[in-house]
Structures are given as structure tokens and as C-alpha cells.
Amino acid sequence: MSVESQPEPLVELTNVNFAYDRRPILTGINMKIPRGKVVAIMGISGGGKTTTLRLIGGQLKASSGQVTVGGQDVAGLDSGGLYRLRRRMGMLFQFGALFTDMSVYENVAFQMREHTDLPDDMIHDLVMMKLEAVGLRGVAHLMPSELSGGMARRVALARAIALDPMLMMYDEPFAGLDPISLSIIGDLIRSLNDALGASSIIVTHDVQESMKIVDYIYFVSEGKIVAEGTVDDIRNSDAPYVHQFVWGEADGPVAFHYPSRTYGEEIHTVAGHA
């Protein structure tokens, strides 16, 4: 079943445009993120993928169009309403972004202390539960500087799911990971999404790993959606941009060579000055 045919999307972007001053970043974006599904947003750097996450989280407001999360118009919420909505969201930042002066335990406990009045003994049990879910209960006492890159990313994931969010957002969750850690993070994203009954949005360049875990993919180029579909749709797409991106080809709509005079012209000009 395609995203379009899914009832009651948790997140919906309708004709969304966004610009910094007069520089357009997103143009005519339409997306639906169904409840319980994992959806990827792919495309080259600078295409507007992370900006889309910021619109959903309310850090930015669309120039026009509408962004709704859980039936609420994000741009129309006051600060209190936006704060309450964000309590139901989890975010895994690129490279984890752990608090370096807090232990692993305190990193995971942070949101519980910030957003709830739970007693310390209950927070302890919940922190251990989240760390157990990512396989790192044994590192609760360590500092972030004592963790490997993959372990730090898993701790950041435990922190992101601390309040059992209805929506998880991942900004390049696979960046900089070795193959084993990358596979572990991918499996965790899928399994935790299913266990929580949440929806997940992954902004990523890692096509092959993402295709193992996602239900639907949007391709964004120069601020526009240029393709969308299931994993099979995208893998079998004959659209030049999508084919180049999926198969990592050097030449295509995204050129290998930066625009310039031909190589022959350049050599001729240099030879003429010799």
C-alpha cells in the first residue's frame, strides 16, 4: 500500500514553500508520513532535507502551505502548544550530539527530568530500560568521551526514545559509522519504531542501508520532490536522477565535472600563453 492510500497520516506537508529571504529552499512540497511507518527523505546535500525536519519540529515556519503533526497545524501553535508537541517527538542528531559533561545515564535521563515529575527510582528504571533496548545498559556510568562512535549514536538513540515519542526524526543517522555499527543502528531504528508504534522520518544519503528498513522514500532535489515510492519503486526507477543516486553513478543529472570551458579549450588557452 502506498503512502497516499494510507489513512490518517501522522505528519502531512501540503504545498509547503520555504525561503531564506528571497532564496527558495523548498518549493511545493507534499508529503505524508503514515502512522507506524518508516519514511526516508533522500537527495544530495543542500536539497532541503534537514529544512523539512525543522519545519516539522517547528524550529522554522513555512513561507506558505501547511505542516501538520498529529492533526495540529505546527505553525499555528503558541510556544506552550509547540513545547507540548515536541515532548511527543524524538530527534537523533547527526553524530549523536550527546551532552559531553554528562554521563551516559544522565544523558538518557535528561528529558525525563526536564519534562516529567517522575521520582528518581522510576527514572532509574526507565533509563536502564532504554539503554537495554539499544544494548548498552553496561555503559551507563561512562562519559561520552569514553564511547566509540557507534556506541555514542546508540546512546543518543536511547535518549531520543526516552519519552516514548509518537514521531522519531533522524538526521543522517548512519554518517561516519563502520559497517557493523551502521547495520546495528539501522536494525534499531526499525525495531524501535515498530515496538513504540511510532512513525519515523530518516534524512539520509545511505541508500542501500535505508532500503533495508524503510517503507517509503521521497527524493528531494533543489527543494522539490522529484520522485517518491516504495523501495521496489525506487530501486527499479528509470528516472535519471533517482537511478544515478541509487546506483552511485559518477555522471548523470548531477554532473561529476563542475561547469567550465571544455578541457581542450583550457589546454589551448594555457598553451597560447606559454
pLDDT of residue 67: 95
Distance CA 268, CA 15 (A): 50
Q: What is the pLDDT of residue 269?
A: 63
Cell numbers given for 184: 546495528
Q: Which domains does the chain have, with CATH numbers?
A: 3-88+165-178+195-273 (3.40.50.300), 100-164 (no CATH)
Q: How does pLDDT run across 152-176, given as a tens digit for each residue?
A: 988 999 998 888 899 999 988 888 7
Q: Which segments of the chain have a pLDDT < 70?
A: 1-7, 95-96, 240-241, 243, 245, 247-263, 266-274
The reported pLDDT for the residue numbered 274 is: 54
Give the per-residue pLDDT at 206.
Answer: 81
User: In degrees to the nearest 10, what's the CA dihedral of 131, 129, 206, 19?
Assistant: -100
- pLDDT tens for 42-90 read 887 777 888 999 999 999 999 999 999 999 999 999 999 998 898 889 8
- pLDDT the model gives residue 226: 87
Position 247 scores a pLDDT of: 63
For residue 232, the model assigns a pLDDT of 87
**Angle at the Cα of 217 from the Cα atoms of 212 and 218, rounded to 5 degrees:** 155
pTM: 0.82
**What pLDDT does 121 receive?**
93
The confidence score (pLDDT) of residue 257 equals 53
Is the separation of the CB atoms in 140 and 104 below 8 Å? yes
Q: CA-to-CA distance for 107 and 160, rounded, in angstroms? A: 10
pLDDT for residue 273? 57
Q: What value does the CA radius of gyration of the chain take, rounded to a whole number of Å?
A: 21
Strand order in the sheet with 89-92: 89-92, 167-171, 199-204, 38-42, 216-221, 224-229
